[in-house]
Each structure stands twice: as structure tokens, then as C-alpha cells.
Chain A
């Protein structure tokens, strides 16, 4: 291998792991969805009971699938937008092994009952420390590469990946502050209402800077690259980036409407959530306008179809979010399946689909051969679309029913429906959601096979930074 070629083996490694965690994490999701329909299928096994497997599901899809995809694509794009190889490649491999090991052991610890009790941050303190160390190493590799760049400007995708790295580090460190009691048990440094405010500052901005910001980094590199068009508006990118970084961080308290936290915090959280619609949609418009110049490619290219569909779901979810943050809407939606539907229209419709589109584009380039089967990718596209649509519809039906029925009062001012009656009415929705999840999972499995077959037929390929003397392997 020529010493000057881009380091792409680590990108391949992250991509393979991301696909593995996607399938396993979604399988865990489908399993817990089935447990809500058939509650005895944990067979009395603690490790298979709903609470633990659901925690495993969110951990694997967020930190296994999502973060592996983000680090892998960040390492791929930062080299190409900086025209240099990765800074400290040994450290980059440390990030890979440390992160994957943390997910494997952390996943096992959750099934064994280790749990910090904080949603989307359930891993206990030894894992929190390991994650923090790996994340700092990621930051050093990423910003080190940028510092050595041979381009004058830092490209837009790197602003978003950079915001992901910086803000998630801040959120993770503060929210994980805890007093260890034993190796597998710690107590949060914050208590009660204060803990709640910190947790949702973390929780909402994990959505903001990981699931939104990080994946926008992916979008800003792979969409123009794939559409072979420059980003439509550079100025819109600047405005929407800084508005996004400033505004998102305020929106967390909309998770705590009508809770025992100060009124002003709730109202401020609601107003900032509404304002957030502007930068979110500005980015969507920028993406759609970029791809519209290459719309003829949409007919033939499954990878681009995934990316464009993901933009549509991005627009939907970032509209629905601010609406749910309005207190008078939230009063109905809060605590219901509607929230679950909203999360999945973002997580499946936006995060998973853009990652799928990116991988369908990326893996043939890493392997140096065309995709094994474009037809299979097209089948996957329709399975993914059907799965996410069914999922969201089921959860809308369930959530709106719960919201209205729970708050319904009779003419004497007493509650009209018992909790059990409303719960029993959820059964058809839960069954539909299980089917929807299964359809989406089958699509992801087809993709895993398709990418594995593509990679099995790989040719040695080295791509070098422009202008380097050794190993000019062809395209950039």
C-alpha cells in the first residue's frame, strides 16, 4: 500500500460494525415490540425482559449503529475535504477498538442489569469513562486532520462533525457526573428536579447534535458528492449552522412540560423549540435544492433515493418536534406512543435512511467494484419506506388515542376511561408496530447481505490526496 493513500480501512471497519449494530439493535427493537403484544415471550429470563432489552435496543442503535456510522463517515470525508491523510492513524484505530469494545461489554452489562437510570445514557460509570476517553481520541484525530489540511477553508460537513464532537463531549461529561458506589452502580451528582433538567438538556441535545448535527455532517458531504452538484447556498449553510448550534441547546425542557420544574424554563424551552424550525428547514431546503439539480439521477440510483427520502423525513420530524413542544399539544402527546412515533420518524426515516443511502454510495467506492445488486437495494428502499410509514401511522393512532382518552372527563368531572381500558385498546396498534419494525429490519438485513457481497468482490484500491507523489489510485 502506498504510504500516501487515504486511510480507508478504518472507514470499512466502522461501516461493517455500524451495519452489524444496525441489524442487532433493530432486532432488539422488534423483539421488545413483540413483547408488548405477547408479554410472556421473555420466558421468565431476566436478561430478555422488556426493560433491559429496550435499553439494549436504544443503546445499540444510538451508540453502536449511529455513532459507528458517524465516526466512519467523518474519517472518510475529513481526509477528502482536507486533502490529507488522518492525523495519528494509530489513535484512530484505538478509537475504533475502544468504541466497539465499549458497546459489546456495555450491551452485556445492560442485559446483566447494570443501569444508571438515565434515559439514553444508561451505561454505568466505567463505560462512561471509557466512552469519554475514546471520544477525546476521536476529537484529536478529527481536529488534528483538519489542522493539517491543505485546503484553505474547512468544508461545511466538518463544521457539523466538529459540533457533534464538541457538544456531545460537553453533554456526556456533565450528565454522567456521578458518585460511584460499586463497580456497577453509581448515583447521579444531581437529584430530583435538578437531575431532570440536566438529563433533558443532555437527552434532547443528544438528539440535536448526534442524530441531527452529526448526520447533517454526513448529508453535507455525501449529498453534493453523490449528486455531483455544489451545495445550493453557501450563505444559507452559514446561517443555518450557527442558528442550529445556538438554538438547539435551549429546547430540552419541552420534555418536561407540566412537570415539577420552573414555569419559565418550560416556556423558554417551548419558544426556542419553535424557533428551531427555521434553521432545521433552512438546511432541508439547502439539501433539496442541491439535489434538484441532479433529479434525473434519482430514477436510476437507489443510494440517492435513500438520501432524498431521508431529507423528507428530516423535514417531517423537525416540523413535528416543534409542534409537540407547544404546551397545549404536548398536554395530549406527552407520555404517549406519539412520542415513540416521533422518535422513529426521525431515527428510522432520517438517521437510518441517510446512513443506508450513504453506505450504498460508500461501500462500492471502498471495495472498488459496483454494488452487488442495485435491484436488491431498490427492494430495500420500498421495504424501508413501507416500514417507517406503517410504524409512524401505528404510533400516531395509538398516541392520539391515549392522549385524548386519558384526559377525557365525563359530565360529573370524573375520568371517563380506566387506564386498563385504554391500554387494552392499544393492542392492534402494537401489533401493527411490530409488523412495521419487522419489515424495516428485513430491509436492513437485505442491505447487510448486499454490502457484504459487494465487499467480498473487492479489488485493491488506493485513493491518494490530490498532488501527492505516491499511490495515485485514480479517483478522489
Chain B
């Protein structure tokens, strides 16, 4: 009955109960999550990894706006079938400039980690505007509005790059000053395609395992 008598103390003191829950539930996170977050091993960029250009960053934020990661993963697992199907498996260093990460949890459509350069820009545009025109069995929604909307309609690209700069992304002040000009006259469709074509770029020279 030792356990019960010890517990009588806890369950008669709400402060003790709150403290107990806080301590016991924190241990896992402190041991398992904190070292990864504080350590450099899984946050450092891979050699040759470039930060997203303003157009690619706009495209990435559109990918998030439309929740593309609901159906498309960006993570090739180190399994023979996956490497054969998609390309080299994913390494932590590839994602150092991904805020948030977009690995996804479900493949209703195919993985996109190595999609960059696999199809040309025209194919990507047609596919986004009318997926079934190029993939008859596709169940992806069409995104016609991307073609008729200017990229960065809200004129926020500089604010976004500055936020990322503060988080440590290597954007120079000149990069940020030049960003609106880089988006001038481009559509959302062009931005999203630019982002898709950038995916997997840093791994182009990697040999297959």
C-alpha cells in the first residue's frame, strides 16, 4: 500500500499534481527533442545548398498556402524501391532553409523531393492548370487561379525575406532590396513552378547509393 499512500499526498494537493504532470511529461522531450534542436548535426546546410531565390520563396509559400504537403511528401526514404522510383534518399542537410519543413505525412500523389528538372516548365504549368491533360488518371485538383494572379500580390516579399534573415538565412540586404524587381510581372504559377524546379537541386551531383 506504499504506492497508494504516496499517491494520496499527490492527489490531495493540486500544486503537487500540476508539478508532477509537468515534470513527468517533460522528460521525453528534454532527452529526445532538445539535443536535436540544440545540436548542429541536423540543422547545418549541406554543402552546395543555396537559399531560395525570391521567386522560389514565393512559390514555396504558395505551396504552403494551397497545402500541397497534404498529398505530396518531400522525403525519399533510404529504401531500394524508393531510391529507384524517386532518386537519392533525403539527407537532413538539404532542409536547412526549410521553415517549416514540408516532408508531409501522406502520399496521395507522388513524392516531390527530387521533382526539380524531371519535367520541363511547360509540363509543370500545364499540369498545375489542368492535371488530367498530362496525367489522365490524376485526381489532383486544378489550380487555374495561379495563372491569373500576380506573384506577391500583397507586396510582402521583403518582409518575409527579412524575417528569414533574422532567423539566420543568408540573405544580404541587397538581395532583399532587389527582390520586388525579381517578382515584377511574374505570376503565381511561375513562382510555384520555379519552386518545384528547385526541389532536389542540391543533390544533383550525388551518386545513387
A residues contacting B by CB (< 8 A) are 35-37, 39-40, 42, 44, 46, 49-52, 54-55, 113-119, 122, 143, 146-147, 152-154, 159, 162-163, 166-167, 170, 174, 179-182, 185-199, 201, 209, 234-235, 238-239, 242, 245-250, 252-253, 255-256, 258-262, 265, 268-269, 272, 331, 334-336, 339-340, 402, 406-409, 413-415, 419-420, 423-424, 430
- Which residues of B sit under 8 angstroms from A197, Cβ to Cβ? 32-33, 36-37, 42
- Report the minimum CB–CB distance from A398 to chain B (whole Å): 10
B residues contacting A by CB (< 8 A) are 3-4, 7-8, 11-12, 14, 17-18, 20-22, 24-29, 32-33, 36-37, 41-43, 61, 64-71, 73, 75, 77-82, 84-85, 90-92, 94-110, 131-132, 135, 137-145, 154, 156, 159-160, 162-164, 166-167
- Report the minimum CB–CB distance from A82 to chain B (whole Å): 10
- Which residues of B sit under 8 angstroms from A419, Cβ to Cβ? 85, 109-110
Contact present for A153 and B101 (CB under 8 Å) = no
- Report the minimum CB–CB distance from A13 to chain B (whole Å): 26
- Which residues of B sit under 8 angstroms from A54, Cβ to Cβ? 67, 70
Contact present for B96 and A191 (CB under 8 Å) = yes
Contact present for B101 and A195 (CB under 8 Å) = yes
- Report the minimum CB–CB distance from A469 to chain B (whole Å): 26
Give the distance in Å from the alpha carbon of A331 to the alpha carbon of B80 in the complex. Answer: 12
Contact present for A36 and B139 (CB under 8 Å) = yes
Q: Which residue of A lies closest to B73 (CB)?
A: A335
Contact present for A259 and B103 (CB under 8 Å) = yes
- Which residues of A sit under 8 angstroms from B137, Cβ to Cβ? 420, 423-424
Q: Which residue of B lies closest to A35 (CB)?
A: B141
With A181-B159, A235-B4 in contact, do A117 and B25 touch (Cβ < 8 Å)? no
Q: Which residue of B lies closest to A409 (CB)?
A: B81
Contact of A192 among B42, B79, B140, B143 (CB under 8 A): B42
- Which residues of B sit under 8 angstroms from A189, Cβ to Cβ? 167
- Which residues of A sit under 8 angstroms from B73, Cβ to Cβ? 335
Contact present for B81 and A415 (CB under 8 Å) = yes
Closest 4 CB pairs of A and B: A192-B95, A51-B67, A249-B28, A181-B163
- Report the minimum CB–CB distance from A430 to chain B (whole Å): 8
**What's the dominant secondary structure at chain A's contact region?**
helix
With A249-B28, A260-B92 in contact, do A166 and B21 touch (Cβ < 8 Å)? yes
Give the distance in Å from the alpha carbon of A413 to the alpha carbon of B154 in the complex. Answer: 50
- Which residues of B sit under 8 angstroms from A170, Cβ to Cβ? 22, 25-26, 29
Q: Which residue of B lies closest to A265 (CB)?
A: B32
Contact present for B70 and A339 (CB under 8 Å) = no
Give the distance in Å from the alpha carbon of A54 to the alpha carbon of B69 in the complex. Answer: 11
Q: Which residue of B lies closest to A110 (CB)?
A: B67
Contact sample, A vs B, 22 pairs, CB 8 Å cutoff:
A39-B141, A54-B70, A55-B70, A153-B11, A159-B17, A166-B21, A170-B25, A179-B166, A179-B167, A187-B163, A190-B100, A191-B101, A192-B95, A192-B96, A193-B95, A245-B25, A259-B103, A260-B75, A407-B79, A409-B81, A420-B135, A420-B137
Contact present for B42 and A262 (CB under 8 Å) = yes
- Which residues of A sit under 8 angstroms from B94, Cβ to Cβ? 192, 260
Contact present for A39 and B78 (CB under 8 Å) = no
- Which residues of A sit under 8 angstroms from B43, Cβ to Cβ? 191-194
- Which residues of B sit under 8 angstroms from A268, Cβ to Cβ? 32
Give the distance in Å from the alpha carbon of A409 to the alpha carbon of B105 in the complex. Answer: 23
Contact of A269 among B14, B32, B109 (CB under 8 A): B32
